[in-house]
Amino acid sequence: MEMGRKTTENNQIVPLTTDGNGLVNYDSIVKQGHRRDVHVFTKPSDLKDKDFADDELTRPDEATEMEVAERTKKQLEAKLHKKVASKPLAAQASAAAKAKYIRYTPANSSPAFNSGANHRIIRMVEMPIDPIEPPKFKHTKVPRGPSSPPVPVMHSPPRKLSKEERDAWRIPPCISNWKNNKGFVIPLDKRLAADGRGLQEPTINDTFAKLSEALYIAERNAREEVSRRNSVRHKLELQKTVEKEEELRNLAIQARMQRAALQKMATQEETEEEREERIEREQLREQRRRERDRDHRLELRAGGNKKSKSTRDGGRDIAEKIALGQVVPKTEEAVFDQRLFNQSQGLDSGFGDEEDYNIYDKRLFGGDRERALYRAPKKEELEAYGEGAAGGIEDILKTSRFKPNKDFSGVDREKAADREGPVQFERDKELQEKEEQEDKLGLDEFFHEVRQKSTSGGAEKR
């Protein structure tokens, strides 16, 4: 009655399999749906690193390398020969080509056709094919199946990281010291963190601690020595001070004794009048001392140790007062130049034409300097400048600037005549005659001797 029905059913249960040792293969569930050539890592041993022995990791010698290379070469040649021989065209190309001779009789045997030949023999050979020639047809390749799944990596359960662990896992960004194409503002701490300076652990030499300790000990010893020297110096100075005070005290006692002895001798020898005069002098001296003390107390009460202003400025002379600015009255009001007031000239009143040269309305200097200048005589001035300048020049010539107001006694100054020309100097006639009479170079005496010799020589020749 089961006719026409399928005997097989779609069962989802994986069959139970065992390995060679009789152990159940539980990895069949994982390998379900994979190809046979796919290697699936299902054993715990696949998670461990492969343990190689020392002999396996040793480098082979030269003979072993040559043997392996020869064996590899033979295997490659065998595979290549097998692939080439599997192709029939390649096999025919390698074998000797067999030729076939065919007799051919054309249908048209006229002399004008086929050169008049009745029969022809044709040699037919199959053309060899290059085995390296690429295929003329493109075969569609089937996409490759998925590769073997990777080795599973066992991870620990996720846990919350602490701040130290986050800082340890934090990788700072790469910051260049030369380029900043984006123009970002990079803080200095970020730049130093990218430099890797924080990862370096500086090692300090032990000799630095020894050196620091030695310097500290040397400084402490030096301070102790300096303190001892200062204490010794202080004691010596104190001793010298005590000795000096003792010496001064002895000198004072000696002087007091001498003074008492002198006073005693003076009182014994002085008369009644001298005694009264001495008492009067002492009273006057005591009175002046009391006055000085009173003035001193008043000054202290008024302004301390400083002198009062009236007392201090009373003894100053006029030069000191001028230098200190005491004679100049100080006014708090603003001081203005009165010449600037009530002036109607200026830019607001028209000032003047552009062509006029009247910038300065007053002379810079007065006419006092003209009196000190040399002026020509009246006649020449009149000829040169006209009659207008005669009055001023005459006033200048009349002034006697170098004549004293009160003359010396016994001096008769005659009024000099007015000059009509420039100053002329005359030579003293008496002095000129005297110089002419004097013979400075002795020429007259020399000529006189020559004349005498010439006269005496002429007389002898005669």
Handedness of CA 88, 90, 94, 97 (dihedral sign): positive
User: Which residues touch 190 (CB under 8 Å, ≥6 apart)?
Assistant: 172, 173, 175
More confident residue, 172 or 125: 125
One-letter identity of residue 188: L
pLDDT given for residue 171 in this prediction: 81
Longest dimension (CA), the chain: 218
pTM of the model: 0.24
User: Which residues touch 42 (CB under 8 Å, ≥6 apart)?
Assistant: 26, 27, 30, 31
CB of 307 closer than 8 Å to CB of 299: yes
pLDDT given for residue 408 in this prediction: 63
- DSSP letter, residue 16: P
pLDDT given for residue 97 in this prediction: 61
d(CA 330, CA 326): 9
CB of 357 closer than 8 Å to CB of 349: no
Q: What is the mean pLDDT of residues 395-404?
A: 60
Whether 371 shows a pLDDT value over 60: the answer reads no
Q: Which of 31-45, 96-110, 240-254, 301-315 has the highest mean pLDDT?
A: 240-254
More confident residue, 345 or 436: 436
- DSSP letter, residue 158: P
pLDDT level of residue 253 (50, 70, 90 thresholds): very high
d(CA 453, CA 459): 10
**186-221 pLDDT tens trace:** 888 888 877 777 777 888 899 999 999 999 999 999
For 188, other C-beta atoms within 10 Å of its C-beta total: 7
Q: What is the mean pLDDT of residues 154-181?
A: 86
pLDDT given for residue 210 in this prediction: 93
Q: What is the mean pLDDT of residues 403-432?
A: 66
More confident residue, 97 or 58: 58
Among 4-8, 262-266, 390-394, 450-454, where is mean pLDDT lowest?
Answer: 390-394
Q: What angle in degrees, to the nearest 10, is found between the helix axes of 378-385 and 390-398? A: 160
pLDDT given for residue 175 in this prediction: 85
- DSSP letter, residue 36: T
Q: How far is CA 373 from CA 281, 386, 395, in A?
A: 73, 19, 13
CB of 32 closer than 8 Å to CB of 14: yes
Among 242-251, 268-277, 391-400, where is mean pLDDT lowest?
Answer: 391-400
Whether 412 shows a pLDDT value over 70: the answer reads no
pLDDT level of residue 462 (50, 70, 90 thresholds): very low
Among 53-57, 136-140, 266-270, 376-380, where is mean pLDDT lowest?
Answer: 376-380
**217-244 pLDDT tens trace:** 999 999 999 999 999 999 999 999 999 9
CB of 161 closer than 8 Å to CB of 169: yes
Whether 296 shows a pLDDT value over 90: the answer reads no
More confident residue, 397 or 249: 249
For 141, other C-beta atoms within 10 Å of its C-beta total: 6
More confident residue, 165 or 272: 165
DSSP string, 189-248: HHHHHHHT-TT------HHHHHHHHHHHHHHHHHHHHHHHHHHHHHHHHHHHHHHHHHHH
d(CA 26, CA 14): 10
Comparing C-alpha atoms, which of 392, 387, 363 is closest to residue 375?
392
Q: What percentage of the chain reaches a pLDDT higher than 90? A: 18
What count of residues does the chain have?
A: 462
pLDDT given for residue 90 in this prediction: 47
pLDDT level of residue 426 (50, 70, 90 thresholds): confident
